[in-house]
Amino acid sequence: MKRFGLIGFPLTHSFSKKYFSSKFEKENIKDCAYENYEIPGIEQFTSILKNNPELIGLNVTIPYKQQVLPFLDILDVSAEFVGAVNVIKVGSDKKLKGYNSDYYGFLESLKRMLPENYNGIKALILGTGGAAKAVEGALKTLKIQYQYVSRQKTDILSYDQLSKEIIEDHKLIINTSPLGMFPKIDTCPDINYTFIGKGHFLFDLVYNPEITLFMQKGMNQRATVKNGLEMLHLQAEEAWKIWNS
């Protein structure tokens, strides 16, 4: 039995188990199983590996995409570039190699959202976690200027500093925080949505619900919006390729 899984905390929002279990069934993939491993601390990661010797691949989600780095033996160029890991491949020698398929998933999904003439567009990245690092990598690849926005860090833009001029100057706004995710669907990033207009693009990495409050507020201002479901599908298929390469 080939075993795959997901580590994170909490995992009540998890997409991966349902996705891969459905994939195994639809594509008639035999002798494979996917499990959730909810761990309250990254120090328990080694016990997951020890207690599940059949594991050959793992996904990593909030809050461990950066915390897991010291536990890995080697990093793929994607993980080195991004500075975070969301896919781990367990080698036949039990060595752990980290990859970042979030970067690929977001990059491809964003390219499908933006117009061909996106040159000169600037972005705001809401949040500074592991998913934000993948977004940053994709924006660098597309040569899109960006600024981080955070409630915690004092050396970057705060939400209070998001003036009309800043929001109007940054037509791409990406929510990388879990705000608005089920079951807390009545939350959203604390920005002034009246400053958003028809020329804005709002990308929410949250995928449940299908239309988040962040997206709805953008739609009310005639902005173009997109959720994170396509990104998740793309990164999941990339993870499957990694595990089977």
Q: Which residues are catalytic?
A: 65
Q: Which tokens belong to 161? A: 């500093």
With tokens 């933006």, the residue in question is: 114
In whole angstroms, what is the distance from residue 85 CA to residue 66 CA? 6
Q: Where are the alpha helices (DSSP H) in the chain?
A: 16-26, 45-51, 77-82, 101-113, 130-141, 164-169, 213-220, 229-243
Q: Which tokens belong to 123? A: 């972005």
Q: Which tokens belong to 6? A: 């997901």
Choose among 209, 62, 201: nearest CA to 134: 62
How buried is residue 162: exposed, middle or buried, by Cβ count under 10 Å (0-12/13-18/19+)?
buried
Asked if residue 75 lies in contact with residue 98, where contact means CB atoms within 8 angstroms, the answer is yes
> Which residues, 6+ apart, have CB-to-CB distance to 11 below 8 Å?
36, 38, 61
Asked if residue 106 lies in contact with residue 230, where contact means CB atoms within 8 angstroms, the answer is no
| Rounded (10°) angle between helices 130-141 and 101-113 | 60
